[in-house]
Amino acid sequence: MQRTYLDWNATAPLLPAAREAVVAALDMVGNPSSVHGEGRALRMLVEAARRDVAALVGAAPAHVIFTSGATEAANLVLTADYRMGRTPLAVGHLYVSQIEHPAVREGGRFARENVTAVPVTRAGLVDAGILETLLQGHDKASGLPMVAVMLANNETGIVQPVKAVAEIVRRHGGLLVVDAVQAVGRMPVDIGALDADFLILSSHKLGGPKGAGALVSRGEVLMPAPLVRGGGQEKGHRSGTENPAALAGFAAAARAASAGMAERNARIAGLRDALEAGMRAAAGDVLIHGADVERIANTSFFSLPGLKSETGQIAFDLEGIALSAGSACSSGKVGQSHVLAAMGFDTALGGLRVSLGPGSGEGDVERFLATFARVVSRRRMAETAA
């Protein structure tokens, strides 16, 4: 059976260039912290990767901290323990949007009582008015406020008003953490233009290997206390021997994401629009979440009355189509979407997410729509029989 992969938001297939970079790095001997020739060669590879990842988000290479992935980066940055140079600086409370990925929504190293959820509107956008009110009531004596808002939602693809959020955060002297995992490569991302203090990135969402990510900071003065302590790698921010092979693949994926981004995303947006038009033609009651607001080009998150997300995911998989019932972040669990709940929708049915990528084509859309039509037909037959 021919398989059709429509789950790029969960992970992108490994790019050939990334695979080549990984294999080449695996053939290199040494430790990037060693001072001999072999170690220096690997150090050069790691630093070249740092430059490529920094360029992807308009940052200085010195401001990139490599981690094992986005979850570790989130747990590194989400902490009450900061330093301004060598001076301790307290962060008193975390304000996190209700639609964040669990890696951020769980609050990292903050105590549970020091984490407040920020609601979103019915359209799936962070409610700026409520955020303003929350920060006005922030207890300044406890330390600085921190706000965490993702740039593009992993389930709906909805682009959040990060620049407007940043203006609110600055008025109240806070810190802004932005999860840019789903956004990079799918829209221009610049840490300075966003006015963010920190960005969270992931390699495998770009077509790099799994097990590599980064925390990108706007400067080097205000930094979180280390999460992983030891030999002092990554300037002491994240100890442990770097993984040159994974970072070489991450860098290759970052370079590919930067090249031809506008043209690539325009083509993918055309595929997504054709897919959604086909769904509407087959089922007039299909609900496409976020269709009326800005989204990244590759994502369509929909609900079909009478079709539970678990049933739909299985039905598509049996016909050779890989898609997801929301976020692929809960060890294979299929449950209610916290994003739909935050938007005020009935989560009993849930939703299905189609996410496209550079390797997607018209044939993928056609196969999806043919299966979708059969799913809709079976739903109608079940309704008639009932």
Task: Examine the residue annotation and report whether 329 is marked as an active-site residue of this protein.
Answer: yes
306/191 Cα distance (integer angstroms): 43
16/253 Cα distance (integer angstroms): 9
List 329, 369, 370, 373, catalytic entry: 329
Helix and strand tally (H, E) in the chain?
A: 12, 14
List the single range of 117-131, 234-248, 323-337 with lowest mean pLDDT: 323-337
7/327 Cα distance (integer angstroms): 10
The model's confidence at residue 184, banded by pLDDT at 50, 70 and 90, is very high
pLDDT at 331: 42
* Helix, strand, coil in percent for the chain, rounding step 5: 40, 20, 40
pLDDT averaged over the chain? 95
Distances (CA, A) of 385 to 285, 314, 315, 382: 19, 22, 19, 5
Domains of the chain, each with CATH number or no CATH: 4-14+261-385 (3.90.1150.10), 16-258 (3.40.640.10)
User: What is the per-residue pLDDT across 206-243, written as a single tens digit (0 to 9) for each?
Assistant: 999 999 999 999 999 999 999 999 999 999 999 999 99
**Above 60 in pLDDT, residue 333?**
no
User: What is the per-residue pLDDT across 288-299, written as a single tens digit (0 to 9) for each?
Assistant: 999 999 999 999
